[in-house]
Amino acid sequence: MTLSTLRTCLLACALAACAGCATTPASRAPADEVADANAVDAKADVAATLARNGADAAMAERVKTEFLHAWNGYRQHAWGHDALLPLSNGAHDWYGQSLLMTPVDALDTMLLMGLDAQADEARELIATRLSFDRDLDVKHFEIVIRLLGGLLSGYQMTGDERLLALADDLGTRLLPAFDSPTGLPYVYVNLRTGKTHGTESNPAEAGTLLLEYGTLSRLTGKPVYFEKARRALVETWKRRSEIGLVGERFDVVTGDWTRTDSHIGARIDSYYEYLWKCWKLFGDRDCKAMWDDSIAAANRYLPEEVDGALWYGHADMATGTRTASLYGALDAFMPGLLAYSGDVERARRLQASSFAMWNAHGIEPELWDYRKGEVVSAGYPLRPEIVESAWYLYRATGDTAYSDMGRSMFDDFVRYTRTDSGFAALEGVVTKDKADDMESFVLAETFKYFYLLFAAPGTLDPEEVVLNTEAHPLRPVEEPN
């Protein structure tokens, strides 16, 4: 038996065993049924609390106003380009030619905010000007989460078939990225030729694709999209260590790890997110089994208590030995994921640590040493993750402490990053010096999560819609017969 065949057999056995144990009705104990009933009652109580809380209309309107400030700056100074440069009032295109990153990323936020005129204008720009027939080597992961995700959510929210046609064309052009010996995607793919390059990738870039490709598959009836992305996720999970952790980087040709540091930050973060969310969106029992296996390992080896506070640090993937006491803006997604998956008390404690990191300098750094209480990487590129977690915790608990937290963070966000034409990343959170950069995710994610914290609870229900890692809302689609 070859090593590849052995791995396949082991995976099938492990998933079948795990999924079977989790879902066989005959194996359920009365205590499990009581726990399920209690969970239903708890959700009903939270829903009632959210309904009583209602909207904070003044804050929602304030967030919308600031969003429009950024959008109008883009429209005035960078229309038709990927992004606004908010200090010089110039425009930036990722690859020298525009792929309309900001309009595609911002479309569903405008729709949620009820900004119909702006959304219609952006949608027409996308439908009439966006073309993927370009000789460009693009970053597969970023194009999937931003453009493919945004086109799919835009289609589901408007019914505009032109957006689905663009998504299908893009998906077809991106598929060669998966043609590695392992099924793990190459980092870059040429939109016109399908030529690929970039062999050192990571769990996040390989494992954060199934929501988008899977939705595209179900909307178009083309199973290849789902199959390729699912295989990449499974191949990533298969390479976990004996103690269940994944490392930070691997080679997509050999499948071997090139960096074995394990954590929940950059290059790993959304791998965990999509294990849970693929279960939520598709009801895929294998994803649920992989999630259960993976989050148990992460919760065993990565957390660390420091002066009564809970943090998630770094550990060696093979041994679980602590390697660093680092946590940062990207790690701050984890409280939201924990809350979304039902581990609310752990989520509360970790969010308190994230907020303490934010308050140390009035805005969060990219990386923080929680043992020393020092900034390690001082930049702030306007990231959304801590706001995202506040929203998921608010939805899970109805506790207005999280909307209050959001209000405080929004005050800081506007105070330190607003410019005459938009919002600027910070070179450093200590000095508050601005950088001439406003990523499209600010309009896709950061403003969306701020708005959802204060809008009416019915604006978006995470039990009915699953947000991709770029905060594009995707609705379940029945699998074609």
What positions carry a catalytic annotation? 142, 269, 366, 385
Residue 112 phi/psi, 5° resolution? -65, -35
Question: Contact at 8 Å (CB) between 472 and 150?
Answer: yes
Residue type for position 282: F
DSSP string, 97-164: S---HHHHHHHHHHHHHT-HHHHHHHHHHHHHH----S--EEEHHHHIIIIIHHHHHHHHHH--HHHH
Residues contacting 438, CB < 8 A, separation 6+:
70, 74, 83, 84, 85, 86, 382, 422, 423, 424, 425
Helices 101-113, 149-158: inter-axial angle, 10-degree rounding = 40
DSSP 265: S
Residues contacting 16, CB < 8 A, separation 6+:
none
Q: For the sheet with 188-190, list strands across it.
A: 137-139, 188-190, 196-197
Residues contacting 144, CB < 8 A, separation 6+:
174, 208, 209, 212, 213
Question: Contact at 8 Å (CB) between 471 and 460?
Answer: no
Question: Contact at 8 Å (CB) between 96 and 145?
Answer: no
